[in-house]
Chain A
Amino acid sequence: MGAQRVLVVGAGMAGLRSAEGLRAHGFTGEILVVGDESWAPYNRPPLSKEALHGDLSHDKLVFRVRSNASDVDWRHGVSARRVDLEQRLVHLDDGEVVGYDALVAATGVSARRLQIPGPPQTAAGRRHVIRTLDDAIGLRAALVPDAKVVVLGAGFIGCEVAATAVKLGCEVHCVAIDPFPMVRPLGPELAAELQRRHEAHGVVFHLGVGVAEFVGDHHVTDVVLTDGTRLGTDVVLEALGSRCNVEWLEGNGLDLADGVLADTALRPVSESGALDGVAVVGDIARFPNLRFDERALRVEHWSIPTDTGRRAGAVLSAYLAGEGYDDVVAVSWEPLPSFWSDQFDIRLQSYGMPGLADPDGIRLLEGDLHDECVVGYHRGAELVGVVGVGMLRVVNSYRDKVGHPTPT
């Protein structure tokens, strides 16, 4: 019998953490990671923040790899076309078919594009997205002083890029269908305050409107909004959220309605139950977190690839070893989601799931909304999330109060 093989599809942060997690939990067989990008796993959050006006190089962004994972095989620039979960075979886009003893699905998300006709959806067409290092390199080249930038979408990524573009001397318009920037999940009061701060730095918001038309042949020259406003532009950034890269998993009876439905052991769940020997990690994992409730949710926070990768490493190592598997599966696993955002001089730090709050459950816990503060997000009497604007030590003190973790 040859060595066991784990195939990790997706060479981002979640794929890396899964490989490290397998080694940390004693798996000694072969680990092969395939990914469609040409780069070794790197840290994405700086792409819309400091790296966009600083040192935008893979060297600076690449993740350190734990010494225990130095023998992992990496194949970059290769993606999975489809998988047969019954036969345990993955078909790669270079024609190779790879068998496995356990599989990790870590293919992440892509930037969602606006389905409105217009010039090419490329840097040359001046229509950018920002998800990969290559995207960021293309965008940065366009963010020159006095460039007219139109950011479509006022979520965290859109607002971070807006702030960065202002710092780089660009004229920035931000367009969103929402009534306030980042209103989901921050709620209207904090969102309105952050809008005010962005406006003080020169960002012009167009809220409650969408895009009617992109004008231009080879590249965008104007964006026409649904209220008739016409914005001349040199750069358009579509920061409109994400779509899950799960097409390769189709045809296996999985629930792919929003990422991949999984249980608390991160096993994909089909009508016939949870599938052993497969783990779903990172942005595509839709899993229940009993810290909050039994509802399976996808969480695109930076902490999740690490938490899910470690969990997948523990579950699959036990599965492959045939030892203690039921115990590992049954462990209560209740990660605390967290994310941060830097916009101008504002540092936001969040713990938990603010988006789960009742509409009337958002309350100032500490400080002053117009200065530094901590805002609490409640569902009934339960604190489901906190967001700090500055006040890092204070918001950190709320970490253990979020949700209702099962006592261990």
Chain B
Amino acid sequence: MSLKVVVDWDLCQDHGQCAFAAPEVFEIGADGRMHVLVEEPDESLRNKVEDAADVCPVQAITLQG
């Protein structure tokens, strides 16, 4: 199964720390809200996505696969 990024949008408070850990996958939009750029990132990005999940202050990011 390929890597899949799941964000709990009820938890997300747009801190934006994920966008620094994995800019290929997460972005703070011009509207100030978080956006997932790639829901199923390449395996080579796994470590960065794990880092992004770690630094989420409200722990809204999980990985599947």
Q: Tell me if B14 is interfacial: C-beta within 8 Å of chain A.
A: yes
Contact residue among A66, A392, A393 (Cβ-Cβ distance under 8 Å from B50): A66
CA distance A79 to B49 in the complex (A): 33
Chain B residues, CB < 8 A from A349: 15
Docked-complex contact B16 and A340, CB < 8 angstroms: no
Give 1 or 0 for each of B33-65: 1 = CB within 8 Å of chain A CB: 000000000000001001001110111001000
Docked-complex contact A306 and B15, CB < 8 angstroms: no
A302-B57, A303-B55, A393-B28 known; A24-B47 Cβ under 8 A: yes
A-B residue pairs in contact (CB < 8 Å), sample of 27: A17-B54, A24-B47, A43-B57, A43-B58, A45-B57, A46-B58, A61-B59, A63-B59, A64-B53, A64-B59, A66-B50, A302-B57, A303-B55, A306-B54, A338-B17, A340-B57, A342-B13, A347-B13, A349-B15, A392-B28, A392-B32, A393-B16, A393-B28, A393-B32, A396-B20, A396-B28, A399-B20
Given contacts A340-B15, A392-B32, A393-B32, 14 further A-B contacts (CB under 8 A): A17-B54, A43-B57, A43-B58, A43-B59, A64-B62, A66-B50, A302-B57, A338-B17, A340-B57, A342-B13, A392-B15, A393-B28, A396-B28, A399-B20
**Closest CB-CB distance, A101 to chain B, in whole Å?**
26
Contact residue among B28, B47, B55, B58 (Cβ-Cβ distance under 8 Å from A306): B55
CA distance A347 to B14 in the complex (A): 11
Tell me how many residues of B have a C-beta within 8 Å of chain A.
Answer: 17
User: Number of A-B pairs whose CB atoms are under 8 Å?
Assistant: 35
Residue picked from A24, A45, A347, A396, most chain B C-beta under 10 Å: A396
Chain B residues within 8 Å of A, Cβ to Cβ: 13-17, 20, 28, 32, 47, 50, 53-55, 57-59, 62
Chain A residues, CB < 8 A from B53: 64
Closest 7 CB pairs of A and B: A306-B54, A43-B59, A396-B16, A66-B50, A392-B16, A64-B62, A393-B28
